[in-house]
Chains A and B, each alone.
Chain A
Amino acid sequence: MFALRTDRIFQWLCLISAMIAGLLMLGFFVQLSLSSVSTWRQFGLGFLVSNDWDPVANRFGALPSIVGTLCTTVIALLLAIPLAFAAALYLVDAPPLLSNILSHAIDLLAAIPSVIYGMWGLFVMVPIMQKHVQPFMVDVLRLHRLPVIGRYIGEYYNGFGIFTAGIILAIMVLPYIYAILRDVIKMTPPVLREAAYGVGCTRWETAKDIVLRYGIRGVLGGIFIGLGRALGETMAVLFVIGNLMDMPEDIFSGATTIAATLANNFAEADCLQRSALFALGLVLLLMSFSIQVAAQYYLHATSARRGESRS
C-alpha cells in the first residue's frame, strides 16, 4: 500500500517536471516571438540574410551574427573532436596513475568559469595568436595560398577574430566530448575489442572502425552536447572575437556571434533594435532546438536501421 502510494507520487512528480520543462520551452518561444514581432514585420525573413546592422539608420540583419556563430562552432568542433578522441583513446589504455591524473585534469577544464576563459583568451591567447600562431600560418605555411579554402583562411590578422574564438571554444567543449568518448570506449565489451584485434586490426583500426561504430550513439550525443555549448557560449567569445557587426571575410576577421551580439547591445538598445535582438535570440534558440531534434531523429533512425532495441 505504502509502496503503491510512493509510486503514484513519483509518477506525478515526473509528470509535473516534464510539463514544467515543456511549458518553459514553449514560454521561451512565445516570449521571444512576441518581443521580436516588429522586426519580422519590418524585414520579414530578409532579416536572416541581410548583413546590414546599422542602429542609426534603424536597419538590422542577422547574417553576420549567424555566420560568426556557425564558424566559431564549426572550428571548435573540428579541433575538439579529434583531440578528445585521441585523448580518450590513449588514456583508456594508459597506466592507471597517468590516466587518472590526466583524465581529472581534462574534467576540471569544465569547472573553469567561462569569464576566466575570456580573460585568459584576451591576455594570453590573443598575443600568442598574433605573435606566433598566425604569423606561422600565414608566413610559413602560407595557408592563404591554398586553393579554395585559402580564401577563407585570410592573410591579415591581429590576434582577435573567429579563429581565436574557435580555439577557446574548443578548449571549453573538450571536456564534455572527452568525458563521453571515454565512457563509450570503456563501455565497449572487451570481447568485441579482442575480436577486432583477433582478425588483425591495429589499435587505431579497432578504435575507429569498431569502438567508435559500436558507441556511435554516445559519440554523437557527446558531440551534440559540445555543439550546444559552443553555439550559446557568450562570455569567452565576447573577449576575443573582436565584436564587429560586419560580415567576416575569413577566419582571422573580427566578427560576432549571436550570443555576443545580444550581450553587447541590449543595454543601450531601444525599440526596433531591441526587437531585432529578440529576433536574434529566437534564431539562436531555433538553431539549438533544431539541432537537438535532428540529432534525436538521426539516432532514432540509425538505431532502427541497425536493428537494435536499446534506446
Chain B
Amino acid sequence: MAIKISAKNLNFYYGSNQALFDNSLDIEERRITAVIGPSGCGKSTHLRVYNRIFELYRDQRVTGELIIDGVNVLDPQVDVLELRRKVGMIFQKPTPFPMSVFENIAYPIKLHFKLSSKELKQRVEQALRAASLWDEVKDKLKNSGLALSGGQQQRLCIARAIAIEPEILLMDEPTSAIDPVATLKIEELMLSLKEKYTIVVVTHNMQQAARISDNTAFFFKGHIIEYGPTARIFTNPKEKKTEEYITGRFG
C-alpha cells in the first residue's frame, strides 16, 4: 500500500508546553485513518501540523518532518497556500463562510483556478454532488450558507474542501456537533470519498472509528501508543492502554 503522509518524530510546542512527543505515523493513500484517544491527548494538534495551520499563531512550533509525496512540507520553502489546497480541513463546528451557498464553493475555487463562469458553475455543482448536498441546495444556491442546517453546513464545508481538488482531507471530529441521521450521511460520504482522497479523521466515537476507518492510531498524552489496521486494534490491541480506552474503562 502506498504511503501518502509520513510524519517523522514530530514534537509540538505551545509556547513552552510540549503537546506532541516524537509522533511518527505513516498514513496510507486512499484509506481512512482514524485518530482516537482521550480528550487533550493531542489529536487536533497532530492534525493541525499537516496543513501548517498552527503557523497562524506566534507561539506554536513544531520540530520533525512531515513527508507528503516525498517532500518535507514543514520546510519553509514549501508554498503553504499550495499545501493547503492539497490538504483540506474540516472542523468540528461547521464553518461556512459568510456568503451564499454558491459563493462558499466558488470562492476557494477562484482563489486557485482561473475558470470561465460556466466552468465555475460546473465545478460548484460537481463538488456539491460529490458531497451529496446538491439535491438539497440546488434551489437555494443564492441563500446564505449560514442559513443551512448544521449537517448541511458540514457537508457544505466538505464540498468546499473538495472543490479545490485536494488529495488529503483532515477531519477533526466532523460529526460531533450534528445529529445521528446527519452523522450517518457524512459517514457514507466519507466512505465514498476515500476512492479519491486520503482521509484522516479524529473521532471520539469508537463505533464510528470501527465502522469507517481502515487504520487507527491511538494517542495518549501526546504520544502515539499504538497504530495498525482498525480491525486488529479493536479486536486485539497490543497495548494495555489501548484496550482500556476502547473498552471504555477510562477516557
A50: min CB distance to chain B, Å: 46
A308 and B146 form a contact (CB under 8 A): yes
Q: Chain A, interface size: which category?
A: 20 to 34
A191 and B95 form a contact (CB under 8 A): yes
Q: Contacts A193-B56, A195-B89, A306-B144; is A200 near B95 (CB within 8 Å)?
A: no
Q: Chain B 96-118, CB within 8 Å of chain A: the 1/0 string?
A: 01110000000110011000000
Listed stretches B80-88, B195-203, B213-221, B227-235; interface member: B80-88
Count of A-B residue pairs with CB < 8 Å: 70
Q: Which A residues between 187 and 246 are near B, CB-CB below 8 angstroms?
A: 189, 191-202, 205, 209-210, 213-214, 216
B57: min CB distance to chain A, Å: 9
Q: Contacts A200-B108, A213-B99; is A307 near B91 (CB within 8 Å)?
A: no
Residues on the A chain within 8 Å of B85, using CB: 199-200
Q: Contacts A195-B97, A306-B98; is A200 near B164 (CB within 8 Å)?
A: yes
Residues on the A chain within 8 Å of B108, using CB: 199-201
Whether A95 sits at the interface, judged by CB under 8 Å, is yes
A199 and B143 form a contact (CB under 8 A): no
A199 and B144 form a contact (CB under 8 A): no
Residues on the A chain within 8 Å of B146, using CB: 306-308
Q: Contacts A195-B157, A210-B98; is A200 near B53 (CB within 8 Å)?
A: no
Q: Contacts A191-B93, A213-B98, A306-B98; is A197 near B56 (CB within 8 Å)?
A: yes
B147 and A307 form a contact (CB under 8 A): yes
- Which residue of A is nearest B79, CB measured? A200
Residues on the B chain within 8 Å of A41, using CB: none
Whether A305 sits at the interface, judged by CB under 8 Å, is yes
B56 and A200 form a contact (CB under 8 A): no
B51 and A198 form a contact (CB under 8 A): yes
Give the distance in Å from the alpha carbon of A201 to the alpha carbon of B108 in the complex.
Answer: 8
Q: Which B residues between 127 and 173 are near A, CB-CB below 8 angstroms?
A: 143-144, 146-147, 157, 160-161, 164
Residue with the highest number of chain B CB atoms closer than 10 Å, among A192, A195, A197, A200? A200
Whether B240 sits at the interface, judged by CB under 8 Å, is no
Partner of B97, one of A197, A210, A307, A308: A210
B112 and A307 form a contact (CB under 8 A): no
B81 and A95 form a contact (CB under 8 A): no
How many chain B residues have a CB neighbour from A under 8 Å? 28
A199 and B95 form a contact (CB under 8 A): no
Q: Contacts A195-B97, A210-B98, A214-B98; is A200 near B112 (CB within 8 Å)?
A: yes
Residues on the A chain within 8 Å of B93, using CB: 191
A163: min CB distance to chain B, Å: 36
Residues on the B chain within 8 Å of A197, using CB: 53, 56, 84
Give the distance in Å from the alpha carbon of A216 to the alpha carbon of B89 in the complex.
Answer: 25
Residue with the highest number of chain A CB atoms closer than 10 Å, among B53, B95, B98, B99? B98
B140: min CB distance to chain A, Å: 10
Whether B249 sits at the interface, judged by CB under 8 Å, is no
A307 and B84 form a contact (CB under 8 A): no
Residues on the A chain within 8 Å of B91, using CB: 191, 194-195
Q: Which B residues between 66 and 83 are near A, CB-CB below 8 angstroms?
A: 81-82
B144 and A307 form a contact (CB under 8 A): yes
Give the distance in Å from the alpha carbon of A199 to the alpha carbon of B89 in the complex.
Answer: 8
Residues on the A chain within 8 Å of B56, using CB: 193-194, 197
- Which residue of A is nearest B163, CB measured? A199
- Which residue of B is nearest A192, CB measured? B95
Give the distance in Å from the alpha carbon of A216 to the alpha carbon of B146 in the complex.
Answer: 14
Residues on the B chain within 8 Å of A194, using CB: 53, 56, 89, 91, 95
Q: Contacts A306-B147, A308-B146; is A198 near B53 (CB within 8 Å)?
A: yes
Give the distance in Å from the alpha carbon of A192 to the alpha carbon of B99 in the complex.
Answer: 13
A200 and B84 form a contact (CB under 8 A): yes
Give the distance in Å from the alpha carbon of A306 to the alpha carbon of B101 in the complex.
Answer: 11
B207: min CB distance to chain A, Å: 26
- Chain A residues with CB under 8 Å of chain B are 95, 189, 191-202, 205, 209-210, 213-214, 216, 305-308
Instruction: List 8 A-B pairs, Cβ < 8 Å.
Output: A195-B97, A195-B157, A198-B89, A200-B85, A200-B108, A214-B98, A306-B144, A307-B146
- Chain B residues with CB under 8 Å of chain A are 51, 53, 56, 58, 81-82, 84-85, 88-89, 91, 93, 95, 97-99, 107-108, 111-112, 143-144, 146-147, 157, 160-161, 164
Given pairs A198-B53, A199-B111, A213-B98, 14 additional interface contacts (CB within 8 A)? A194-B91, A195-B89, A195-B97, A195-B157, A198-B51, A198-B89, A198-B161, A199-B85, A199-B161, A200-B81, A213-B97, A216-B98, A306-B146, A307-B143
